[in-house]
Amino acid sequence: MTLEPFKSLVAGRRFSCTMCGKCCTGDGEIWLAPEEIPRIAKHLNLSTQRFLDTYTKQYSKYSGWRMLKTAGDSGQSCVFLSPLDGKTCLVHSVRPSQCSTYPWWPELMHDGEWEWEKTNICEGFDHPDAPPLDVEEAARQLKEANTMTQLRLLASTVRVTPKEMDWANRVLVWEEEEDEEGGSGAGEGEAARAKGTPTGQGGKPGSAAGKKPEKGGKRN
C-alpha cells in the first residue's frame, strides 16, 4: 500500500514535541504488540516473563497481546514516565508503536479531533516553532498506526464504542480503496496478522484502544 492516501491527511499540519509529558498521563491504554515485549524487556535487562509480570497485564482475546500497567498515581501516569521529572520516558528508544506514531493516529486526522487534542492535551500540535513537516515520515507513521488500529480493535475484549467503530470503518476504507487500486497483496499480509496467521514479519499487532478523553500516547 502506498503512502499517498495518508499524505493528504497529514499535509498542512505541524507538530513539535515539547517534552511536557501530558501525552503519558490520564485515562487511556497502552497496548504492546507481541514482538515489542522482548525488545523492551531486553532494554530493561529483564527476562520476558519478569517484564510481563512487573509492567503489564493481560487484556486481550489473543495470546501475546498485553497492556502496560499505570504507575498507580492519581494521574494514571504511564508506568515508564519518569517519576523524577514527570516528563521523560524511561524506555523512549524502544517505546511501543502506539507511542512512537503519536500524533499521527487515524482518529486525530479529523480537524475536530486534532483541535480537541491541541486544546486539551498536547501543546505541540501546530506549535509555532515546529519545523516544516516531513510529510513522508508523518504519512508512514499514520499508515503504521492505521494498521495497528485495525488489529487492536480486533483484539480488544472491551466493548467497542460507536466512536471506535467510526475509527475502524475509516481506516478500513483507506485500506480497501488502496487495495482496489493496487491489488490485495499488502492487505493479505495485514489480514493474516489480524487473524493470528504467521507472516514473513512475524505480525505486528499493536497500538491501543482507548476511551475519551484519553491523553496523548495513552489516548487511543
> 40-77: per-residue pLDDT in tens?
999 999 999 999 999 999 876 666 789 999 988 777 89
d(CA 132, CA 17): 13
**Within 13 Å of residue 12, how many CA atoms lie on the same side as its CB?**
7
Which residue stretches of the chain have pLDDT < 70?
Answer: 1, 60-63, 155-220
The full set of domain ranges for the chain reads 4-197
The answer to pTM > 0.75 is: no
Task: Tell me the β-bridge partners of 199.
Answer: none
d(CA 161, CA 173): 18
Sole residue written with cell 503512502: 3
Sole residue written with cell 507511542: 99
pLDDT (0 to 100) of residue 28: 81
Sole residue written with cell 509529558: 21
pLDDT (0 to 100) of residue 44: 98
Say if residues 205 and 33 touch (Cβ distance below 8 Å).
Answer: yes
The set of residues, in sequence order, having a beta carbon less than 8 Å from that of 97 and lying 6+ positions away, is 33, 36, 144, 145, 148, 204, 206, 207
